[in-house]
């Protein structure tokens, strides 16, 4: 019998290794799997590469993970904001590597990983610093139908941590509104996907037409309490 329900966050996160690439869903504070991030902090994996749209808000969630010093590199599209003081401090002190990716490219690089696409050309970033590799060398470019394009490669994850609304024991997931964001593409792009859900549905209770992430892409589902999404925080003056 297929049963992907984990009894705890710790059980769901077993096997995350040092040096793993971790895809973390969320857009700002919407859809951030804070309980799974806290579990990853407790789990203790180090030298991580984290992929998220942002680089943490305030001192909780993704920012708390960065603060542990166990993240080597972050790949994101919007690292700095009013309350990103944890990221700011780590990056400016050279303790955290940043790969800045335009938001559409980030989503497409994740989608490409899940779809088995080896690489793709995009016009976004052409002629800018984002059209260079980490070592400063230029990325491959091509003129297609008179328009310049840059070659980009997929982002594969060892594990994806995502937040959904409902799930069943087969791992089928539905989402709530904007909290969906990067969850579906990240689930397809990782070797292992762990989803937190507010509600466990009986098998067959989810309308197949509403299932966004099929269970084949999900390794573990863990139920969490429903709490209001917390906004980011500003650093208090000393």
**CATH number for the domain including 15?**
3.40.1080.10
Cβ atoms of residues 40 and 17 within 8 Å: no
What is the Cα–Cα distance from 157 to 51, expressed in whole angstroms? 8
Region 56-60 average pLDDT: 89
Residues 31 and 111 placed together within one structural domain of the fold: yes
How many domains are contained in the chain?
2
What is the Cα–Cα distance from 160 to 152, expressed in whole angstroms? 21
Query: Left (φ > 0), alpha (ψ -120 to 50) or beta: where does 204 sit?
Result: left
First to last CA, the chain: 56
Residues 182 and 142 placed together within one structural domain of the fold: no
Cβ atoms of residues 189 and 160 within 8 Å: yes
Across the chain, what does the average pLDDT equal? 94
Residues 129 and 158 placed together within one structural domain of the fold: no
Ordered alpha helix ranges (H), 5-157: 9-12, 34-43, 62-67, 85-92, 103-115
Buried b (16+ CB within 10 A) or exposed e, 104-138: ebbbbbbbbbbeeeeebeeebbbeeebbeeeeeee
Residues 99 and 184 placed together within one structural domain of the fold: yes
Region 183-197 average pLDDT: 98
Last residue of a domain, one of 152, 168, 203: 152
Per-residue pLDDT tens over the stretch 97-114:
999 999 999 999 999 999
Answer yes or no: is pLDDT of 71 > 60. yes
In a domain, 3, yes or no: no
- Res 115: pLDDT: 97
- Res 81: pLDDT: 84
Per-residue three-class SS string for 154-179: CCCEEEEEEECCEECCCCCEECCHHH
In a domain, 2, yes or no: no
- Res 82: pLDDT: 82
Residues 165 and 212 placed together within one structural domain of the fold: yes
What is the Cα–Cα distance from 184 to 112, expressed in whole angstroms? 12
DSSP 8-state code for residue 131 = G
Confidence of residue 29 (pLDDT cuts 50, 70, 90): confident
Sign, CA torsion 235/30/25/33: positive
**pTM confidence score:** 0.93
What is the Cα–Cα distance from 56 to 65, expressed in whole angstroms? 9
Answer yes or no: is pLDDT of 232 > 60. no
Answer yes or no: is pLDDT of 7 > 80. yes
Token pair in block for residue 9: 């966050």
In a domain, 28, yes or no: yes
- Res 228: pLDDT: 73
Supply the range of the domain harboring residue 126: 119-152
Residues 61 and 168 placed together within one structural domain of the fold: yes
Token pair in block for residue 140: 């491959």
In a domain, 238, yes or no: no
- Res 101: pLDDT: 97
């Amino acid at each position: 019998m297929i049963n992907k329900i984990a009894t705890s966050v710790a059980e769901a996160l077993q096997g995350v290794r040092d040096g793993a690439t971790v895809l973390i869903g969320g857009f700002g504070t919407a859809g951030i799997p804070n309980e799974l991030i806290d579990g990853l902090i407790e789990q203790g994996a180090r030298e991580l590469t984290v992929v998220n749209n942002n680089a943490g808000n305030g001192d909780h969630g993704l920012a708390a993970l960065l603060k542990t010093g166990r993240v080597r590199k972050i790949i994101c599209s919007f690292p700095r904001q009013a309350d990103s003081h944890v990221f700011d401090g780590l990056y400016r002190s050279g303790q955290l590597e940043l790969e800045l990716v335009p938001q559409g490219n980030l989503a497409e690089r994740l989608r490409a990983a899940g779809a088995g696409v080896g690489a793709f050309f995009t016009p976004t970033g052409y002629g800018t610093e984002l059209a260079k590799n980490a070592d400063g060398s230029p990325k491959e470019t091509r003129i297609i139908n008179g328009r310049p394009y840059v070659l980009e490669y997929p982002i594969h994850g060892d594990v994806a941590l995502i937040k959904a609304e409902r799930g069943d024991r087969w791992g089928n997931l539905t989402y709530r509104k904007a909290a969906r964001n990067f969850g579906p593409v990240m689930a397809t792009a990782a070797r292992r996907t762990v989803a937190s859900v507010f509600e466990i549905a009986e098998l067959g209770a989810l309308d197949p037409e509403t299932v966004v992430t099929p269970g084949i892409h999900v390794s573990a589902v863990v139920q969490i309490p429903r709490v209001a999404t917390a906004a980011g925080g500003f650093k208090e003056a000393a």
